[in-house]
Every structure is written in C-alpha cells, then in structure tokens.
Structure 1
Amino acid sequence: MNDKYAVVDIETTGSSPKNGDRIIQIGIARIENGEVVSTYSSFVNPEKKIPPFIQELTGISNDHVQNAPLFAEIAEDIYRELEGTVFVAHNVNFDFPFLQGELKRLQLPLLKNKKADTVEFARLMFPTALSYKLSEITLELGIELSHAHRADADAYATAELFLACCRKLETLSQVTIKQLHKRCFRLKSHLAPLFFEALKKADRLVTTTNPTEEVVTSAEFPSYPETIEEKVTLLREVYSTVEQRPSQFDYMDTVKQALDTRSEIALEAETGIGKTIGYLVPSLAHTQSTGKKIIISTYTNTLMDQLVEGELAKLQSVYLHSFTVAKLKSFTHYLDRGLLAMRLDSPDESYDESFSLMQVLVWLTETKTGDLSELNTTGAGQLTLDKLRKQRRTPGIQGDFYEQIVEKAKQASIIVTNHAMLVHHPESLQFIQSDVDALIVDEAHHFLTAVQSASEKAISFTDWKYLFSQFGFHEATQVGFKLAQILGSNKDLLRIAQRLELVNHLFDELISQLSNTVGKTKSSYGSSKVTVPLSGTQNLFVDFSKEVNEVVQKFEELLYRYPVDNVIVREEVNYWIRELRTVAYDWEEFMTHLESQASWLDADKRSIPSSFIFRQRQLDWKEEIERSLTPYRGKSSIIWTSGTLTVPNHPWFILDQLHLPKDTPLRKFYAQESFYSGARVFVVNDVPDVTQVDQTTFIESIADVIIQTVQASQGRTFVLFTSQDMLRKTVELIEDSGLLEDYLFIAQGMNAGSKMRMLRTFQRFQKAILFGTTTFWEGVDVPGEALSTIIMVRLPFTNPDDPYFKQKAARLTAEGENPFSKLSLPEAIIRFRQGFGRLIRNSEEKGAFIILDRRIQTKSYGREFLVAIPNVPKEELSTQSMVETLESWYNS
C-alpha cells in the first residue's frame, strides 16, 4: 500500500453547512503500509445548540462541546493530519464537502486531497453484504464499532473496513484483478492504485468453472419413529429441548400415512405445532426407504431460503450426508457465463454497468450457486444483471450454474422450489417427475396467489417508455443507432424508424385520453392515488397493440435479412428485441382480454402519466391449477399444508378456490393452550374509527399510539398496514416528530433491499421497528425477543374499489351469493390469522398483538376475527392504559 490514507468521520448539527450546520466532532485515523498508525479526535464547539435528535443519535450533548475548541482553532491540526494523504470516508461525498464548507466559511485554503469512499469499496469487495450502513457492514464483517455515530469510533471502524476491503482485494486471483483493474478507472473513488498494487502481487489463476459438488453419503436418516419415545429421541438429536406436542406427532403420522398411500390431503397446522419439522421427518424417512424424491413447494424465495437454511440445515448438521437438498428456481435467476464473457469484452456504457460487472467478478470467486439474487446491487445495476441472466437451458456447457443445479436436483432427496416455479414453469421439473413420490405444498393458502400472478399482467408507463427509448437512432447506446452504424443507409431500417414514430404517436394519444379520465376520477380523502377500470376502452388499444407487434416483426425480418457480424452488438440488439417482443405480447393479450378479465389502471394524480400502471388479472384459474398438478395427481402424494388453511364457518373457503376434489380429507391440528400463554391481545378503544374520519386524522392518531407503544416495548415491533400510502405517511410523520430518533426504522417500499434483508436487519437490532404491508403479514419467522409486539393498523379487508375484487364480487352477486360473507370477510380473516401467527413462535416467547381498528368492536363481524385466533387474553382499553399495561408486563 504505497499511498497514505486519512480516514475521516465527522458528526454535525445537521446536513448542510450552507444552512448554518456545524461540525461537533471530528475523528481521523491515519493508515500507512496497511496499518492504522495514529488517531486524532476532538469535539468542536459549533457556536450553536445541538438539536435534540442529534444529541440522541450521537450521544453528544451541549455540555460535551461547551468548552471544546472552535473549528478555526483545530484547523491547523486537521491540515497536518490530512497532509499528503488520500481522504477516506464512509460516504465521502458528505464528509469531504462539509469540511470544505467549514474551511470556506473561515476563508481558509481548501483541501486538495484525492478521495476514496468505503461505501463504494465495500460494495465492490463484499457484493453480497446485507447492508452498507457503517454499523451494519462492520457488524457483518466482525469489525468492532464501540459507539456508532461518534466520530472517533466511526473513523477507526471505517479504517478497519477500508483495510478489510484491501485484504479482500489481495485474495482475488490474477485474472479477476486484471478484469477489475481494467474498469477501476471509472470508479468515483481514488482506488485505482490499490488495484494496480494488488495486480502486481497476484500470482494465482482464476478458476473459471464451478464443478458440481460430489454427493457424499454416509449413515442413513433413521426410519420413521413410530412411538412417542422414538419421536422425542429423534427430535432431541436436532433440538436441545423438545416439548412433547401430541398434535405435532399426530400431524407427523398423518403425513406419513399420506406418503405411504400416495393420497391427496389438506392439513391445517396452527402455529405451535411445528409444521415444518412435522412434514420433514416423515418425508426424509420416506425418501430413505423408497429412494424416491419429494418436492416441497413454498410461496416465496424468502421462504425457500428459510426452509433450506433453517430446519433442513439443522437436520443435515445432525445426520451428515444422509440426504441431499436442492433449491430449484427458474433458469432466469442464474448467471449466463457466455453473456458475461461477451459483456466483459465490450466497452462499458456507464458507471453503473462498470460497477455492476466489477461486483459480479468479485462475487464469482465466492458464489456456489450462480444465483444473481445473492448480489446486493442498486436499481441501476439491476439492468446489467438482467442482461446477464440465462435466457434458455444450455445442457452440456461446462461450468453452467443452472445445469449444475439440475444435476444436483437429479441426485437430491428433497427438492425445494416455490409455487411460481410449479405454476409458471412446470416443464422445468419434467426431468425429475418420474422419480417424485410426493409433492408437499407448504403455505398452501398462497398457491392460488401464485397461480394468479402466473398470468397477471402489469405494464408501467415508465418501464414501457424506457424500453421503447432503447430503439431510437440518436444516441450511441440505442438499437437503431447501432444498426445504422453497421447497415448504413438502409430502406428497411428507415421504414422501421417511421413505424417507431407511429407507435410513439399512438401511445401518446392513448395516454392523453386516459390522463383526462384519471384527472376526472375522484380519489379518497387525503390520498392522490386512483384506480380506473378499463372495461369499454378496448378501441384505444387496438391500433397501438397492432403497431407494436409490427415493429417487433420488422426488426426480426431486418436481422434475418442483414445478419449482424459484431457479436457484442448482435447480442445487445437481440436482448432489447426479446424484451420488446415480451411486452408486445403483453399489450396484445391485454387488449384481447380487456373485457373478459379484470383490467384497470393504477395512477397517482400527482404524477400523471408517469405513475400509470396497466393491470390485468384472470378471474378463474381452474385450468392453470389442474395443469400444474397433472404430473403428480393420482401418481404421487399431494399434501396441502398451511397454518391458515381454513376460516371459521367457511372451512373450504381456500380449498374450493384451489378446486380440490370434494373427497379430499381436511384435518386441523391445534397447538397446546400453554403454547400461547405468553400472548395477549389489546384492542385500543380511543383510536378514531377509520371509517368516520379523514386519513390525515387517523394517521396522526395511530402515529401517536405507535410512538408510545414502541417506547414501552423498546422496539422489537412490527407495524402492519394494508396500504403502502398510509404506511409511508405514518413513517414520515413519526420521523418528523423526532420522538423515536434512537430507533432503526425499516419500512417496506421506503428502504432498499429484499424482504429477507429487511428481516435480517430487523433481527440484528433490538431497537428496531419494521413497517410492512401485505407480504409481511405471513410466512415470516422471527423467533425469540427480536419481535415482541405487532400493531395491526387496520383489519386486512381488500379495498372494495379494487377492480379485481369488484369483478369477483359481481360474479358472486350474479350467482345469488353475498360477496362480503363469501369473499371479503373470509379473505380478511385469513390475513388476520396470518398476522397474529407472526407473534409467538415458541412457548417461551411473550408478545402483544395490538389492534387499532375499532371495527373489531363496533361491527357484528368483529367477533369472527377474534374467535379465529387462539384463545388468549383479549382486552379493550385506552392507549394510556394499554401502554401502562405493556410497560409493567414486559418488565415483569
């Protein structure tokens, strides 16, 4: 490490020196020859009061800085510490300009140091990290950060992070570093010398293949435990403490019987049964005795990861090599090495592309799967990753990630997939279907959701405009421009250009008419979002859809008539034409089924037309369900299981929608009453009735309850919403209040990252609040004290103005049924049960389930929600009484 580095962190009274904000503490750690050689820190008198929220965040009070030197008095010290160094900071574009602002204010010489950003460096060297916030990335890497948001501690931790990045760089192979060095000059940080030094040291060669892991087998998984004593003994091998749960053992026996008889059965297992281990034990014993495979399908990739990394990993750690597990997703999740090679050989078109390719190169040295979802990329970087995804299977290509997954699945005992794969890509499972003896559909109540999304169309205005803009002729990155450079003055290309203009014109006309309709549509009070049904508008789409398809056809004819020899250009053009072909098909299908399916436009009146999203969804899915189950029904066991498969008074509500045969046995398994001894339900009775006040008043009220509840429970709280708009406004109001400054806010739709990343962050910090909508209502395991409180803002009814719901309700009405009792209420109760199910995950836990929707008291149907959850203490009380009860209860 030839350069000297000064790692700097500052704490300030605010974010802008131009607005009068000042430095209150500075910390500097100097690095020479790969080691921290000195540190410097000082409080700084800002000559103004420190805002309360800054005091809470940093722990720096007005007393700390009262007798501290002014910035002018330590300026010489800072110059001396920074002299001859590269200026390093975690988000250098905050610290460096802020220091410059202070120097400029005092009319002192400005800094001329080169800059390096540890956020950028860490994102490169640790591309799968959950988060790049200093407190979180240091925790993940095992770097001590004794006091976050104190400049001296932050500067030292940032220096250690910088050195960790340097060490990681030097572990990479020569070939990888060469590829990184080629692109490092496009980085925003002064990191190029580090890549050059690492390249000089590198003497290893990159491994370009990721060979299939050899499957090693040893002792077999035990035969199925028939007696209670045998079951307890087996489970104690996996868990240090095992409670005897008669219902769990009954559930296990039922699964075993279904496997033995190749039956189809539906099983509801309440939280506390131990459903997952309940079906895994008989499944593993069955595969050992028969040599056949079992497919387990769950709702999301997150739940797949939880299953494989949770219960299955525990079982594998005890019964080493006795069974193998394969996760099977669509091939589009995986990297195509051939596409990557072509991309690496072509000039990068932007900083984002260079950066994403550099992340991929580092990730390739450590990934075992090639699953691109492992990467933590920005939104702009996702476009680069999309260009690297497999578009088709390529058997026989050495080192192909997806083919390695396929080979592993051929040898695996248990194959874990998701409902979408089962429904979208049933053909992808054909290579193992003859060896499958059972299909277990976990989170079965969501199978219908997966079927619905299989053919659901959603076309956004911004996505379409961006896609279509790629076909222009004016910029070097556009398809038309690239083809014109190769084909020259070409009449066929000219005709395509004219058609592109026509498509643009037709789309603008379509949008103009819909914008008028949206502008006249009334939105609910306090909201700018509207939903516009599109039935009766088919004539608007006909010409546009036809011309889009014509453009695709003309491009394909052009490429057939005039082959493009340049491999890079050809692949780039083919990528965009594939994308256009897909959306052209969606537009055609959208137009064709506009009247027969639920079709609508989502819009925000504040941003017309950029907020427009065209949506369409089928109403009946019987054929799709039967097609996905045909390979298994009558040949293998099919076990439908869920924690919430039924609704009181409507036991077949979900099974009817899944079109299960009427003779399918349905069994329910209940947890012991003692399992929920630590749960309490509170109905807050002084929150305004959501149906009687405007949204702003309701949000102000619930924000107050949330603040008081979080303060009483010390965080560890889920707040569940039914509306993303209400979630956002509530979070913003709480943030503006400054009353929860020392808590970490994790808000779905506002924070970047996947659901799994958000959950892991939530579990890592005690003082954390997670604000979530629909997808956080179910299928989330947060064991232990990480979650102690759930606040349900509204009963989870579907919006009655939702076009899909309205069309389904209209169909029920035409059949003489009551849409509320047959559809709306059962759906809401299912979600309600799922929300409660997040609270208690073992009998040692204590948790409060707080309901802020007065309808549970005032409406006749309110009791149906409360009887649908386990029999735990339920109280109606005021906010103040509830908070006092929580404080004494949690502290008891």
Structure 2
Amino acid sequence: MKKNPIYAVVDIETTGTDPQVDRIIQFGCALIENGEIVTRFSTDVNPGRSISPQIQHLTGITNKQVNKAPYFEDIALTIHHLLAETIFVAHNIYFDYSFLNKELQRCGAPELKIPGIDTVELSQIFFPTEKSFRLGDLSESFGLIHDNPHQADSDAQVTAEVFLMLEQKIRRLPLLTLKMILSLSDQLGMETGAYINRIYEEMKEHPDSLKDGLQVIDGLVLRKKDLAYFESAVYETEKYPLSKKQKERVFSKQLTYRKEQSRMMNDVYKHFTDGEEKNLFIEAATGIGKTFGYLFPISYFAQPEKPVIVSTVSIMLQNQLFDKDIPFTNRFAERKLQATVLKSHRHYLDLQRFRETLKNPLKQKQYALYQMRVLVWLLETETGDLDELQLINFNHIFWRDTAHRGTDLLKKDDPLYKEDFVRFLYKKAEQSNLLIVNHAFLMQESFRKQPLLPKQASLIIDEAHHLPDVVKRTALQTIPIYGFQKRVTQAREEGQLFDQAIELLEKLPEEKRYVELYSRTLLDIVEDLKDFAYELEQLLNVNRRDQLQESVIEKLQFDQLSLEGEKLIRKIEMYLNDLEEVQRKVRLEIERQLESFSVSERMKLTELFQLFSEVTHLAECFDIFVNQWDAHWVKEYRTDKKGLTVLAVNDLSAGIIKKASWYPDYEHILYTGGTLVFGKNRDYLPNKLGIDDFSVKVLSDPYDYEQSARLYIPKLPIDIHEVSDAEFAEYISKTVQEAARQEDRPILVLFTSHEVLRKTYAHLHQPMMNEGREVLAQGISGTREKLLKRFYHSKNSILLGADSFWEGVDLPGDSLQLLIVTRLPFENPNRPLVKAEYAYLEAQGINSFTGEALPKASMRLRQALGRLIRSENDHGVLLVLDRRLVRTKYGKRMLRALPKKLPVEDLTLEDTMASIHEFFKEKG
C-alpha cells in the first residue's frame, strides 16, 4: 500500500442481488485521505426497468426519481476513473465490489483491480461487543447521523465515518495484540489484512508503552481485574424505614413514594427477618416497581456470609438487574448491594485453552475472526463472560475449543491460572452480598457434584410463574440416537478423539487398552440402539415418511415389545454397565496423573471426559426409559425435522421443588411476578410447585385500565373452531390488513399455532410490503431478539409471534399499542405429552382443565395484556378473535381474571374497527 493512500468508501443500491438481471439505481462514494473525508460523489442511476415496491420501500428510491437520471453506461468511465488508484472500502465489500465490476464489464469499461477492505470484518474484530454489525445498527450505537439508510450517499458517508473510527481504535491497541491479530489476518478477505499490516508497521516505528490497566501474561495482553472487597460499616447507623415518613426521608424527593411498592418492601423485609412461613408469594404488576420493591429492603440485611440469591428467568434479565436495577437501588440504600452474576462455567472463556488455539491456529476464516475478536475483547473484559460478545449462539468449533470446562481441569502451574475468569468469578461471589442467577442455573444445583450456591442464604425467585416450565425443560432427558451415532462416528475417525486419546495414554498402557475397548463397544451400542428404535417403530406403527412425530409409550404398550426388543434392552444395558466401569477406571487414573499433562493435552482429555458424561447421561436415561414406570415418568418416541429418532423421558413430578436438593437449604423463599394467581384461586402456583407452607399477597394494579385500554371481542362471520388452518389464516390476514390500513401504528399478532402463523405470513407479506408495511414473523424473519429490535425501531411494522412472544416482551410507549390475539392460549390437548400430563393430574384427583389448562391460559392472556400497558402513560387495544371468551363459562372466568376496570367491547367487526379508531383518536 502507498504511504498515504486514498480510500474510496463506496455504497451502491440495486434493483436486486443478481448482477445478471439486476441493475444499480444509486452510487455513492466518500474519499478519505490522511484520516479525513475530503470529497463526496453520488448519483441516481436509471436502471432501465421498474423498481419493485419492496426495493422502493427499503431504499426510498422511486421510479419517478430515477427516470431522469443517467444510465450506468453514461457514467461507467467516470466511476472507473474516480476509483482508480484508490483502495476500495465497503460494508460487506463482496457484494458492492463484485456487482460494480459486473456492471462496468457490461458497459465495456475496464474491470476494477484495486485493493479492497471490508468494514464488516474489521468491525467484527475491533468492536467485539457490538450487538449487530449491520450499518444502521453500528451508526445508532456510535451516535452517527444516518438520515437515509439504504441510500448510497448516506450509507457511504456513514461507512466512511465507521472506517475512520475503526482506524482510531486499531491505533489505540497494544502493539503486541495487533501483532497477534496480524498473524491471523491472512484469513481475511481481499486486502483487509494488508490494511492492518500497514497500520502495524507505522505503529512499530513509534511504539507506545502499555496503557494503565493492561498487563501481559504469557504473551496475551489482558485487562487487569479489580476485585472489590466487601465493605460494611462497623457501627449500624440506620434501621429499615418501615413508615411512609421514614421512606420519604430516605428517598429525599428523588423518588416518588408508592403505596403498593412500600407495602411490598415491608412484606419482603418482614418475611426474611422474622417471617414464620418459609414461602411467600407476592403478585406485583408491572408499574409497581417490583424489582426495587425487593432490592431495597434486602440491602438492610444482606451480607457476604449470608447473601441473598435472586433467581430470574433469563440471562437478559440477570444482566438488567446487574446493569440497571442494582445501581438504581444503591442510590438510596445506605448499605450498598454488591452483586455478582453467577453463570455456569461454560459461559466463560478459558484463557489457557484460548492461548493453545493461537499456537496452532485452525486455518478457517470464521475461526480466525473469532480469535482476533477475542484478542481485542481481552483488553476490555474483566469477567470473560462470553455473553458480552452478544453472539446468537456458540455452536462454532472455536467456542467448543475455548469455552471453560471447570476449574478442576486447569493447569495450576500455568501463568494464566491466576488470571482465570471462573476462579475470579468465585472470588467475586465470596465478596458479594447479592448473587444473581437464572432459574435454569438454580434447578441445575440439584445435579451438581459440588454445589455452587451458598447454603446460608435467602432466596428470591423473580418471574416465578416461569419456574414450572423451566423445571420441566431442565428435567427433560433425551437419547438422540442418530445424533449420538454421529458423535461416536466422528470420535472414531482417523486422527480424531480416540486416536488422540490413545496417543496421549501411551504412558498409561492399561488405560490405553481400556480406551481402545471403549471405542469398539460404543460402535456396538450405536447399532443396538438403532435396532431398538426400529423395534419401537414396529410396536407403535410409526410411518417413517411422516416427520415431527410424537408418540407417548405406556407400560401396557411397552410390555408388547418383541422378543428381539427385549434381548436388545439386556444387551444395551450390559454394554452401558461395562462402559461406565471403564470410564470410572480411566478417569480416576487420568485425574491422578493430571499434572503431567500439558494444557493442549488436557483439551483433548476434556473432550474424552465430555463423551464419558454423555454416555453416563445416556445410561441413566435408557434405564428410566425401559425400567421406570411410576406414573410421573412419561416416555416419548419422537422424530425431528429430518425424520431422525429421539427417545425422551419427561418427569411430571419435577416441578415439585420440595424434592430439589437445594430447597431445604433456604429458611425463607420469596416468589414474585406479575401473574402468580388465577382470579380468586391463589393456590395455583404453590400447588404446581408442591408447596404447602406458604402465604400469598396480591398488590393492587396501579393502572387506570378504564382510561388506558380496551378489550374487543368482535362478532365474526366465521367460527374459527370449524374452519381449516388455511381458512383461519386467510381470515386473520384480512383482519390484520383492515386494522393496518386503518391504523398506521405497529401491530403485534399472537398465535398458538406455528402452522397458522406461517400461512398468515404467506397471505400478508406481499400486499403489506407493497403498501410500505414490513411484516416480521417468528421462525421466518430472524431470531426473537432481532425481530423485537426491528419491531421496536419501526413506525408501523406487523410482527407475527407465538410461544415466547406472549410474555417477556418489553415494548414500552408507542412501540406497541395494538395487539391481536388470534386464539385463546390453551395448550393443544391432543399433543401426546400434554395429554399424558393431563392424565397424570386426573390420576391425582386434579381436574386437568380447571386445575391446569384454564389457569395457565388465563395467566398467559394476562401476560399478553401486559405487553400493552407497561407504564402509566401507555395506552392500547387488545383485539381477541376467539369468541369463546364471551360465549363460554370458562371464557367468562378468564375475563374475571383480567383487571376489573378493563372495558370489554362485544361488537361487530365493522363497529369494532370504528371504535378502535375512535379510541386512538381520543388518545392523540
């Protein structure tokens, strides 16, 4: 590269993505020299064809706008001359560079042969904790002005600004880190690596000393960790403020006193300091300030020796507690809450394992991108928590190689041992008076050999209504037969796990022989499991051509298994017993000799131990599947989307948390959430959790639903329970289109069936897109997080969701005002597992409909309403297309479970639409 190169930051807009048939409609370029944007050039381009409504909606570029613009043939040479002798820069260069070249060639202009740099790859490396690397998301995150996204001049300008920020960030890096990134950069596209090299060579001429807060350990530059020791006053100065006057003095006019929140605070404080009952349930609607309602009182008694544990439903809510709610509470608490978020070790980077990947890097682009990204992240993170990297999943082989496997397998004499993130986490936890976990982590405590939570603690379970479902998921055990076969086949391939382990165990000849035997026996088990699955198929009359099958196997049915099936059971059990004995001996000897193995050798042994754990799990699950027939065990034969067999074991009694090993450890437990009771029935959730020592308190809802909300149940021209899925989807789409054409605002449509959702999307997508309305659909348009983000930032998108979209969706203010519920959220009673669960309840003398199905559906409907009204300033409409809500006795019970003053309108569809319009008109 030249000493002072000129960078041409380019963006093009096109009629589509295929350069054979599509054409450029806009070209934008910003030239950068010596770290400044020196000139800009942009032009519309006449594509010589019509621009589709979708592209017009996306870009804002109309047919009328481009009709008088020059054709690309007229400006091809101008663009070629403009870019000559520059370095081409683009956000996703592979599209812009190749499409532009195809157009230049088509018009007879010379092909571009200039070097190119991709700002997407650079952003992924040097901005490691960004949620998204789309240009619009980066510009929003960095506070850049981006008035016209998807228009070439605006996109080129913003890309140029991002590029300049990238260069500034790179030049601030330690030289050692940049050198390591450079050693991996041959995997980057085009001349992106050469660009990093040029900066490195320039920085090498004037090296800076290492910045404060950084340190070099065994060749890695790391951020120094600051362990905050817990401090408490020697003398107690303030007692908990019970009265309104005392609280107002503490809040000091910075916080409005709320009667119901104060009541919650007092209840929480009394429960944990002198409560007689073990379990207290508090239902507190959104808007009361529930989280502050329990954090403030616990600050008066939480100590590291007796911490408070808060369990919530998701990692996202864990982070919200830590980043937002605790700092807010500490503004008012005299005794500060010092919190640590506890996650299982697999959420953290293992520094020793990461360093080994750098010694022998895998020549694969995504692997190298992750390595470079982590090298930058290590300068910024104190925790090593992989969730900081904002990735959707960690399925890539890189994370398998570098995710933490627990402190037992760390090499103690390694320089990085003292810097280990999980060890630091445990040290922080010891200095904390508040530990934050999620429900899944809490439930896993029963299965850990070494407990991670302290026994002398108080426990708060927030979002407690999720607990039964989390317990159910945690307790589910599966044998993915073909997935296990694939795992074993890969492990036995030449040069893979078993070859590596056998080579490592040369110095342990007896263990080496055991592993060779283990490998052969696994192959026998795989074949026998496949044969066993075939015998089950014969027993259940499974049609292999039907995908996504679910069959529950009952004892009487299983007793009819063929003689061959019985023989296979005994054979598989014998093999599994043998394998478990081999595992025990091999693991014992390896652990005894562990210090003699290097970190890279331990990485391979960890993979072997992981396989051992999978076999142990398989043995436990298989034993339950064929031998345990107590009423609470439900066995399933399933096929997945690919038609592959999975055997599953469900424990219907798992929700009885009194059986959990951690339950006796806590003297007092608080359960709180927005929907814990069903109408006058306050015992639903405690009964479901198997708790008999409890009290329930319900705090008054703070919202004026009479003014802020409406519930409409329109009279329909069809009976939705008499029509096919296709007819129902068509009707829903017509209703949504009518609402969308009338109300120019975001609409959330909730489904109970993914099939109906997909069919509705097929009807809605094109006509709404033609009218400039984006339709987003779960399972079609991206991940849940991406859908919610796009919906939140849109002015009038339509979002179709099921399952998780009924709750836990925070869309405040104007981002959601119209919610359509297509069908009451009952579980499908014909699903084999649901049917088995209902049968289990009936056998216990519990009416499955009134005791389970109805409360669960009612609480879900309340949660849906909670998506609309989340603050005193919110207003919104809930439109329910299921007439059972007004036609049936149980529907009326569901209505009574909703807020008392919520106006309910039972009108024709035409009058409903008119009334909705009038309501929104009144609200401005």
* TM-score after normalising by structure 1: 0.88
**Number of residues of Structure 1 aligned to a counterpart in Structure 2:** 873
Residue 194 of structure 1 and its aligned partner are, at CA, apart by 2.6
Question: What's the secondary structure of 2:25's corresponding residue?
Answer: strand
User: Given that residues 727 and 771 in structure 1 are in contact (C-alpha distance below 8 angstroms), is that contact kept between their aligned partners in structure 2?
Assistant: yes
Select 1:266's aligned residue among 275, 281, 290: 281
Q: Distance in 1 between matches of 2:464 and 2:163?
A: 47
Q: Distance in 2 between matches of 1:683 and 1:465?
A: 52
Contiguous gaps of at least 5 residues in structure 2: 216-221
Select 2:897's aligned residue among 854, 863, 868: 868
Question: What's the secondary structure of 1:719's corresponding residue?
Answer: strand
Q: 1:125 to 1:567 in 2, by over 3 A?
A: same
Q: 1:90 to 1:728 in 2, by over 3 A?
A: farther
- Match of residue 436 from structure 2: 416
User: Given that residues 640 and 646 in structure 2 are in contact (C-alpha distance below 8 angstroms), is that contact kept between their aligned partners in structure 1?
Assistant: no
- Match of residue 293 from structure 1: 307
Q: 1:407 to 1:560 in 2, by over 3 A?
A: closer
Q: Which amino acid aligns with 1:155?
A: A
- Match of residue 140 from structure 1: 141
User: Given that residues 353 and 600 in structure 2 are in contact (C-alpha distance below 8 angstroms), is that contact kept between their aligned partners in structure 1?
Assistant: no
The 5 A counterparts of 1:231-310 are 231-232=247-248, 234-235=250-251, 238-239=254-255, 242=256, 245-263=258-276, 264=278, 265-287=280-302, 292-310=306-324
- Match of residue 666 from structure 1: 696
- Match of residue 795 from structure 1: 824
Compare 321-330 and 387-396 and name the one that shifted more. 387-396
Answer yes or no: is 1:448 the counterpart of 2:471.
Answer: no
- Match of residue 649 from structure 2: 616
- Match of residue 533 from structure 1: 552
User: Given that residues 734 and 740 in structure 1 are in contact (C-alpha distance below 8 angstroms), is that contact kept between their aligned partners in structure 2?
Assistant: no
- Match of residue 330 from structure 1: 344
User: Given that residues 711 and 877 in structure 2 are in contact (C-alpha distance below 8 angstroms), is that contact kept between their aligned partners in structure 1?
Assistant: yes
Q: 1:485 to 1:419 in 2, by over 3 A?
A: closer
Q: Distance in 2 between matches of 1:700 and 1:303?
A: 37
Q: Which amino acid aligns with 2:301?
A: H
User: Given that residues 356 and 381 in structure 1 are in contact (C-alpha distance below 8 angstroms), is that contact kept between their aligned partners in structure 2?
Assistant: no
User: Given that residues 349 and 402 in structure 2 are in contact (C-alpha distance below 8 angstroms), is that contact kept between their aligned partners in structure 1?
Assistant: yes
Q: Which amino acid aligns with 1:807?
A: A
Answer yes or no: is 1:804 the counterpart of 2:833.
Answer: yes
Residue 132 of structure 1 and its aligned partner are, at CA, apart by 1.8
User: Given that residues 89 and 95 in structure 1 are in contact (C-alpha distance below 8 angstroms), is that contact kept between their aligned partners in structure 2?
Assistant: yes
Q: Distance in 2 between matches of 1:357 and 1:652?
A: 52
User: Given that residues 267 and 668 in structure 1 are in contact (C-alpha distance below 8 angstroms), is that contact kept between their aligned partners in structure 2?
Assistant: yes
- Listed one character per residue, the Cα deviations across residues 460-515 of structure 1 (whole Å, up to 9, x for unaligned) are 567545533431324x5x32454688799998777666545545544554566677
Q: Distance in 1 between matches of 2:150 and 2:175?
A: 38
Q: Which amino acid aligns with 2:7?
A: Y
User: Given that residues 212 and 408 in structure 1 are in contact (C-alpha distance below 8 angstroms), is that contact kept between their aligned partners in structure 2?
Assistant: no
- Match of residue 203 from structure 1: 208
- Match of residue 831 from structure 1: 860
Answer yes or no: is 1:22 the counterpart of 2:27.
Answer: no
- Match of residue 242 from structure 2: 226
User: Given that residues 30 and 81 in structure 1 are in contact (C-alpha distance below 8 angstroms), is that contact kept between their aligned partners in structure 2?
Assistant: no
Residue 852 of structure 1 and its aligned partner are, at CA, apart by 2.5
Q: 1:845 to 1:561 in 2, by over 3 A?
A: closer
Q: Distance in 1 between matches of 2:208 and 2:323?
A: 35
Residue 179 of structure 1 and its aligned partner are, at CA, apart by 1.8
Select 1:703's aligned residue among 733, 749, 754: 733
User: Given that residues 283 and 674 in structure 2 are in contact (C-alpha distance below 8 angstroms), is that contact kept between their aligned partners in structure 1?
Assistant: yes
Compare 833-842 and 177-186 and name the one that shifted more. 833-842
What is the alpha-carbon root mean square deviation over aligned residues?
A: 3.6
- Match of residue 612 from structure 2: 581
User: Given that residues 675 and 843 in structure 1 are in contact (C-alpha distance below 8 angstroms), is that contact kept between their aligned partners in structure 2?
Assistant: no
Residue 622 of structure 1 and its aligned partner are, at CA, apart by 6.4
Answer yes or no: is 1:11 the counterpart of 2:13.
Answer: yes
Select 2:843's aligned residue among 786, 810, 814: 814
Q: Distance in 2 between matches of 1:812 and 1:739?
A: 47
Q: Distance in 1 between matches of 2:22 and 2:717?
A: 39
User: Given that residues 13 and 152 in structure 2 are in contact (C-alpha distance below 8 angstroms), is that contact kept between their aligned partners in structure 1?
Assistant: yes
The 5 A counterparts of 1:253-402 are 253-263=266-276, 264=278, 265-287=280-302, 292-317=306-331, 322-377=336-391, 379=393, 382-393=396-407, 397-402=417-422
Q: 1:460 to 1:454 in 2, by over 3 A?
A: same
Residue 154 of structure 1 and its aligned partner are, at CA, apart by 0.9
Q: Distance in 2 between matches of 1:165 and 1:514?
A: 59
Answer yes or no: is 1:406 the counterpart of 2:426.
Answer: yes
* TM-score after normalising by structure 2: 0.85
Q: 1:164 to 1:661 in 2, by over 3 A?
A: same
Identity %: 29
User: Given that residues 713 and 788 in structure 1 are in contact (C-alpha distance below 8 angstroms), is that contact kept between their aligned partners in structure 2?
Assistant: no
Q: Distance in 1 between matches of 2:597 and 2:307?
A: 46
Residue 768 of structure 1 and its aligned partner are, at CA, apart by 4.5
Compare 339-348 and 58-67 and name the one that shifted more. 339-348
Residue 569 of structure 1 and its aligned partner are, at CA, apart by 5.6
Answer yes or no: is 1:520 the counterpart of 2:543.
Answer: yes
- Match of residue 219 from structure 2: none
Question: What's the secondary structure of 2:672's corresponding residue?
Answer: strand
- Match of residue 433 from structure 1: 454
Q: Distance in 2 between matches of 1:657 and 1:454?
A: 16
- Listed one character per residue, the Cα deviations across residues 318-371 of structure 1 (whole Å, up to 9, x for unaligned) are 559833222122222211211112222223153222222222222211123211
Compare 551-560 and 636-645 and name the one that shifted more. 551-560
- Match of residue 675 from structure 2: 644
Compare 842-851 and 789-798 and name the one that shifted more. 789-798
Select 2:227's aligned residue among 213, 217, 225: 213
Q: 1:632 to 1:236 in 2, by over 3 A?
A: farther
Q: Which amino acid aligns with 2:872?
A: S
Q: 1:45 to 1:171 in 2, by over 3 A?
A: same
Question: What's the secondary structure of 1:665's corresponding residue?
Answer: strand
- Listed one character per residue, the Cα deviations across residues 795-844 of structure 1 (whole Å, up to 9, x for unaligned) are 22112133332222112333454322222112211222222222211222
Residue 76 of structure 1 and its aligned partner are, at CA, apart by 0.4
- Match of residue 639 from structure 2: 603
- Listed one character per residue, the Cα deviations across residues 417-451 of structure 1 (whole Å, up to 9, x for unaligned) are 22222221266996773652x22111122222232
Compare 828-837 and 373-382 and name the one that shifted more. 373-382
User: Given that residues 482 and 569 in structure 1 are in contact (C-alpha distance below 8 angstroms), is that contact kept between their aligned partners in structure 2?
Assistant: no
Residue 604 of structure 1 and its aligned partner are, at CA, apart by 5.4
User: Given that residues 442 and 640 in structure 1 are in contact (C-alpha distance below 8 angstroms), is that contact kept between their aligned partners in structure 2?
Assistant: yes
Question: What's the secondary structure of 1:782's corresponding residue?
Answer: coil
Q: Which amino acid aligns with 2:434?
A: I
Q: 1:359 to 1:748 in 2, by over 3 A?
A: farther
- Match of residue 775 from structure 1: 804
- Listed one character per residue, the Cα deviations across residues 832-878 of structure 1 (whole Å, up to 9, x for unaligned) are 22222222112221122222233323433111221111021111345
Q: Distance in 2 between matches of 1:121 and 1:331?
A: 29
Q: 1:844 to 1:491 in 2, by over 3 A?
A: closer
User: Given that residues 464 and 671 in structure 2 are in contact (C-alpha distance below 8 angstroms), is that contact kept between their aligned partners in structure 1?
Assistant: yes
The 5 A counterparts of 1:472-483 are 472-474=492-494, 478-480=496-498, 482=500
- Match of residue 194 from structure 2: 193
Contiguous gaps of at least 5 residues in structure 1: none
